[in-house]
Amino acid sequence: MEPFTLSTGIVRFLSLAIEITKVLTEYIAGVESAPKDAQLLLTELAALCEVLKQLVGFLRAEDLKGKSFDRTSVLCSVIAVCQNQIEGLYKRVDKLRGSGSDRMSRALQRMKWPFEGKECNRIIETLQRCSQTFHFSLNVSNCTLLSETSSSVLSALESQQKLLQQTLAVVPQLSGEISRTLAQIGDVREVVATLADSGMLIQSIFLDIREVQLRSNDERTDRLLHWLSPLEPQKRHQEVRSKRLNDTGRWLLCKKEFQTWCNDEGNCFNHVLWCPGIPGAGKTVISSLVIDYLAAEFAEQNIGISCLYYDYRDREIQTPVNMIGGLLKQLLLAMPSIPQGTIQLFEKNQRERTMLELADAEKLLFSVSRTFDRVYICIDAVDECSNGQRKDFLNALKRSLESSVHLFLTGRTNSQGDIDRYLSPQLTIPIVADKNDVRRYIISSIEESTDPELMDEKLKGEIVSAIETTHDGMFLLPALQIRAILEQRRKSERRAMLKRLPSGLYEAYADTMTRIRLQPASWTREALSILMWTFLAERPLKIDELCHALSIKAGEAQLDPDNIPPQRSLLDCCLGLIVLDKENLTVRLVHFSFQEYLLTQQSSLFEAAHAQIASACLSYLYFEHQSNFGTVTKLEERLEKFPFLNYAACQWGHHAR
């Protein structure tokens, strides 16, 4: 689990903790006989909320990029314990608001303190231990330590204690600071020991306690969320943000128009920010930056944030109803519970065996948005939505503006007409690759080069200067240019490449295709096959599906495992034109503009390609039929051995036409 994902989970129950402090404050002020335990619990909760806010900010900092936390790690376990405690507290403390039908019954309800003394003490002790552990984790080294399991952490903490005690014996002048550190380590050791002594049942609270208590609700919730939409835009977001360099796009956050859009609550005309840009300008990266900025800026507030990344490859499933449902799903996941209206509509549809209708999705989005103080919706690449579906989607979004929704949209200028017609944005910021961002990207690419001997400061300066003057407001073009330069195996060849850099995207694509053909023959064949499958496939292929597709040989009676190419280096021969989405392990073309380029070259590059693909699909189906899996009833086992089976069975007819 990535730090950002972990922080998102914390935000969800942090809002509950803040709500509990409000209820307790009102209770103590309004009930003269309120027990002392109420004040003690309030004090501990307030301290916990503060350290949770710090932890959210820390987990979203750049220092932790690349870190991961397993569910069995100490930090995940303590977060799960804390979440379980807060959710249980909320259910019981919420009764202090009073729920009777008359004033007297509400007053009596409020006066009933729902905890006995010993129970309240145990709760306070648990919250203290959580706070101590979270506070301990607020630096990179300690946080890294807590990403390990309890046994590893206990061993490391014991070693730290021994070292500090030895230091204290030698340098008594540091007794104050060392004693404080020893006390902190002791507190954390106690927490970790508790986790270990319990057989690490608490370590996976999401899989054990919480699922035992809420299994039926969770299963129903999963079905409800999938009914709303099969889309998972957060996976795409994680993929994009993982490739974003530090500080890239910060210029947009400083724009007056952005701050107006972000903070204006009164004027609904300022609730739509439209950011058009040319192909390859970095619009998707900017979108990911805006989403992260909003998530950090409003972490502890009742603010909803939802995003979508349009992708031309997914037009079949990125329908207006799925997109609106995808936005709604993200908002529901940020709420303590799913509203009854949503549940009732889901149950009605289940009984009648009907799908979610766009009109119903609109109404749900509108009503759910009103439960937040404000909602930010970020939509990337609206131009990659087909014209007919784009109009329906924008029209559906239009109604949400009647609530507290703020819309951020990016796309090419060719979608300007639809944006104006349906959303009438008063705020516009054109997206153009910033010169400093481009420079930072070039330098980063050079520094990551595996051949430092092929680079010196003078050549580095020449490369930066040359690409800076030709980037033409794009990020994608410099990315293709710097790759072409760094592929060269001599300094002289790199300087020669500087003199013939492509000046436009199509020219850069043509240049890369030429370099592909200049590779060894086997590499060229592999690259062209990968391009063909990725370009013409009816849906995005998983990396293992592609490997099996490439292994098919005409005339063979069975699958040859030795002919399946390795995944790790599979795409190297494509020279950056094909990329792997690490979040969902699908392969895709580097950019929508490359799809458009290939359309202009299709007849010469991929003659009779559909017939070739159809034949390969049928051959693969024959492989599976000939195997001993014919008697196996479990589809999962067949797909594990033959991952390309689903695509071959479902899509061969399309290619045969």
Q: Strands 272-276 and 303-309, how do they pair?
A: unpaired
Type of residue found at 4 = F
Please determine, for residue 540, whether its predicted confidence score (pLDDT) is greater than 80: yes
Buried b (16+ CB within 10 A) or exposed e, 161-186: eeebeeebeeeeeeeeebeebbeebe
CB 319 within 8 A of CB 388: no
Q: Do residues 334 and 304 make contact, with C-beta atoms less than 8 angstroms apart?
A: yes
CATH of residue 309: 3.40.50.300
Q: Can you tell me the distance from the alpha carbon of 88 to that of 76, in angstroms, rounded to the nearest whole number?
A: 18
Claim to verify: residue 106 and residue 239 sit in the same structural domain: no
d(CA 346, CA 224) in angstroms, rounded, equals 6
Q: Does 514 fall in a domain?
A: no
Are 384 and 482 in a shared domain? no
User: Which of 29-33, 165-169, 428-432 is predicted with the least confidence, judged by mean pLDDT?
Assistant: 165-169
| 276: β partners | 411
Q: Answer whether residue 508 is part of any domain.
A: no
Residues 284, 359 within the same domain = yes
pTM above 0.85, yes or no: no
Report if residue 512 sits inside a domain: no
Q: pLDDT-derived band of residue 509, with 50, 70 and 90 as boundaries? A: very high
35 and 85 both lie in a single domain: yes
Are residues 416 and 439 located together in one domain of the fold?
no
Q: Is residue 509 part of a domain?
A: no
Which of 470, 503, 536 terminates a domain? The answer is: 503
In this prediction, residue 201 carries a pLDDT of 34
The alpha helices in 383-502, defined as continuous H runs, are 387-400, 416-423, 435-447, 457-470, 476-486, 491-498
Q: What is the pLDDT of residues 605-641, one digit of tens each?
A: 998 899 999 999 988 888 866 565 555 456 667 777 8
Residue 254 has pLDDT above 90, yes or no: yes
Q: Token digits for 186?
A: 């002791």
Written as one string, the DSSP assignment of 19-85 is HHHHHHHHHHHH-TT--HHHHHHHHHHHHHHHHHHHHHHHHTSGGGTT----TTSHHHHHHHHHHHH
What does the pLDDT average to over 168-194? 61
State whether 174 and 240 are in the same domain: no
d(CA 486, CA 298) in angstroms, rounded, equals 41
Instruction: Give the pLDDT of residue 157.
Output: 62
Using alpha carbons, select from 479, 463, 447 the residue that is nearest to residue 285: 479
Cα distance from N-terminal residue to C-terminal residue, the chain: 43
Q: Please, which residues have CB within 8 angstroms of residue 598's CB and are 6 or more apart in sequence? A: 531, 535, 589, 605
Specify if 510 maps to a domain. Answer: no
- Residue 100 CA to residue 28 CA, distance in Å, equals 20
pLDDT at 175: 56
- The first and second tokens of residue 288, run together, are 């990911």
pLDDT: which is higher, 61 or 440: 440
Give the model's pLDDT for residue 116. Answer: 77
User: What is the rounded average pLDDT for all residues in the chain?
Assistant: 83
Between 133 and 451, where is the model more confident? 133
Lowest mean pLDDT among 24-38, 344-358, 421-435, 541-555: 24-38
Summarize pLDDT for 549-564 with one digit per residue, the tens: 999 987 777 888 899 9
Question: Are 411 and 282 found together in one domain?
Answer: yes
* 479, 612: one domain: no
Quote the number of domains for the chain: 4
Same domain membership, residue 348 and residue 220: yes
Name the band, by pLDDT with cuts 50, 70 and 90, for residue 34. Answer: confident
| pLDDT tens digits, one per residue of 84-121 | 889 888 888 887 775 444 443 444 445 578 887 778 88
pLDDT top residue among 260 and 451: 260
pLDDT at 212: 36
- Per-residue pLDDT tens digits for 458-479: 999 999 998 988 888 888 999 9
- Is-contact 525 574, C-beta < 8 A? no
Question: Model confidence over 358-372: pLDDT tens digits?
Answer: 999 999 999 999 999
Inside any domain, residue 513: no
Residue type, 176: G
Kind and range of the H or E run holding 378: strand 374-380
Q: Provide the domain limits for residue 473.
A: 435-503
Do residue 124 and residue 47 come from a single domain? yes
Structure-model confidence comparison of residues 260 and 448, the more confident one: 260
- What's the rounded Cα separation, in Å, for the pair 258 and 274? 10
Residue that terminates a domain, selected from 191, 207, 223: 207
